[in-house]
Amino acid sequence: MTDQRVERLRRTLTSVSGVPTTSGNRIDVLRNGEQIFPAMLAAIEDAETSIDLLTFVYWTGSIGTQFADALGRSAERGVRVRVLLDGVGAKSIDRRLVHRMRDRGVELRWFRPPHPLHPLQANHRTHRKVMVCDERVGFTGGVGIADEWMGDGHSDGAWRDTHVRLVGSAVNGLRAAFLDNWIETEPCLFDADVDHFPEHGSPGDVDVQVITGTAEPGWNSISMSVRATVELATERIRITTAYFVPDDDLTGRLVEAAARGVTVQLLIPGPGADKRFVQLGGEDRYRELLDAGVEIWNYQPSMLHAKVMTVDGAVGIIGSANFNHRSTSLDEEVNLVVFDEGFVAELDADFDTDLGRSEEIDLSRWKRRGLSQRLLEQVMHQLRPWM
């Protein structure tokens, strides 16, 4: 893979999405709760001026308490702390934690809490996972604030996930993703006493796009970038996703990629899947994909929740979006598109490690699956637009 190939991909995807690429970033891969949570908590403790946290999942448990206490301590020492929780995804949080944070000075808001007079609004959530500290350090990926993510990702009950720590100009894009949702709950976008919009310099040498997806009909920027990346692949596509329910177009693009000689590998949850009905919604696509030569692997040790894609060893996509209709049309999402061979090599190495803990679906065996499985697939197929 040459630098020219990376540059061509960068130019093409920038043109397709219309989102500029920022240079001079540093991005660090964080694997599973055992690495992700300590890094995020350390950034909270080190913050001097501001913390912005946006998440879909914030459930009751030990790690939720740790975050609430850390955020509260930061607010008490004068840091402006803003927390935005999705009104559906985080509804099971211990309300005592909400009161604890607010009592200590945390500005906590709810994103689109369900309302009986607006039932359709409940279907459009913010699924973004963003934290920005001091306008300089950003985090994003797949992890939620819940005990399910604690641990090493390959033990029973310890969900497998990937997050990243980002410094550089691309942090501005994560901040914008936070503000895009925050403004629905608070009209003040910035405070001149706190927000200084600093120069980021060049802490690294990585080119990054920050792609935000919004709830809208048709294709949004995230679906455009993913589909374009599949179309540009010439050697290999590797997809890790928690919820794989592709539409006709994405399925067709993956099949076409395999037909032109691209190695296509899908890594998805196995027996640890937390939403079996969503799993069924994607399984009716397996026959078509397997017939085309696409490899489909089921992760065995625990729930696989990461959202990662790499293409040709040159570009990596990581963030909150899954490969389903909900992520491309119904929910607010954020992805990083990273043009750096070293970063992609890390993600590919993790993929190889995960394959060692996975089982490949055999085409001949899949063709012999039972009638009840086939019927369930057809039922769930009808519900795919809501998955």
Any idea which residues carry the catalytic annotation? Answer: 127, 129, 134, 305, 307, 312
Can you list the alpha helix ranges (DSSP code H) found in the chain?
A: 3-17, 32-46, 62-76, 95-103, 171-182, 221-232, 248-259, 276-283, 286-291, 325, 341-355, 363-367, 371-381
C-alpha dihedral, 298 to 123 to 16 to 227, nearest 10°: 30
Contact 218, 329 (CB under 8 A): yes
* Helix (H), strand (E) at residue 207: strand 206-213
Q: Please give the Cα distance from 60 to 106 (Å, whole number).
A: 18
Q: By three-state DSSP, how is residue 107 classified?
A: strand
Q: Please give the Cα distance from 327 to 13 (Å, whole number).
A: 19
* Helix (H), strand (E) at residue 167: strand 162-167
Length of the chain: 387
DSSP code, position 119: G
Q: Please give the Cα distance from 20 to 214 (Å, whole number).
A: 18
Cα distances (angstroms) measured from residue 306 to each of 122, 140, 352: 24, 11, 14
Distance from chain centroid for Cα 213: 11
**Neighbouring-strand partners of residue 212:** 334
Strand duo 295-299 + 263-269: pairing: parallel
Q: Which two tokens stand for residue 18?
A: 């219309």
Q: Please give the Cα distance from 319 to 300 (Å, whole number).
A: 22
* 207-238 burial: b if 16+ Cβ within 10 Å, else e: bbbbbbbbbeeeebbbbbbbbbbbebbeeebb
